Amino acid sequence: MGFDDLYVGQEYTREFPVTEEMGRAFAQISQDFNLLHLDEDYAKQTMFQGRIAHGMLVASFISGVLGNDFPGVGTVYLEQNLKFVRPVRYGDVISVIIQVMDKDVVTNRIKLSTICRNEAGKNVIEGMAEVMKKE
């Protein structure tokens, strides 16, 4: 999808299952071995009463959508802010919802709302991104 094809208000959604295998792989890649994500016995003693997925694992789904699907190949990620609203558990299915908020035709920059929502329809991550798309 090219820059000219995008319009304010346009929205794209993609679903991602969150698996324990992803959590283990993300721990290895990020070196984040927090027991809250990996050890059920430990996590049961916390306010979450069980393991939760790494927040940045879930946030990385946003990057996957931006670079592959919407706006897609050729997108340059410039900025992202995130607010972690609710925990995500292994087995959840997360919808990444990207919406075009603003387009600057002079700089080819696009401001996007970036929301991750669980299967219950509740936001788990809320944020905004700025990307550049030349073609």
Total-model pTM? 0.93
Peptide bond into 87 cis (omega under 30): no
Instruction: Report CA-CA distances (Å) from 23 to 4, 58, 107.
Output: 37, 10, 37
Mean pLDDT of 4-8: 94
The string of pLDDT tens digits covering residues 89-115 is 999 999 999 999 999 999 999 999 999
Distance CA 122, CA 116 (A): 9
The string of pLDDT tens digits covering residues 39-87 is 999 999 999 999 999 999 999 999 999 999 999 998 999 999 999 999 9
Distance CA 65, CA 133 (A): 14
Residue 2 has what pLDDT?
87
The answer for residues whose C-beta is within 8 angstroms of residue 125's C-beta and 6 or more apart is 55, 58, 59, 62, 82, 83, 84, 85, 114, 115, 116
Distance CA 88, CA 126 (A): 13
Q: Label residue 134 by pLDDT band (50, 70, 90).
A: confident
Residue 1 has what pLDDT?
81
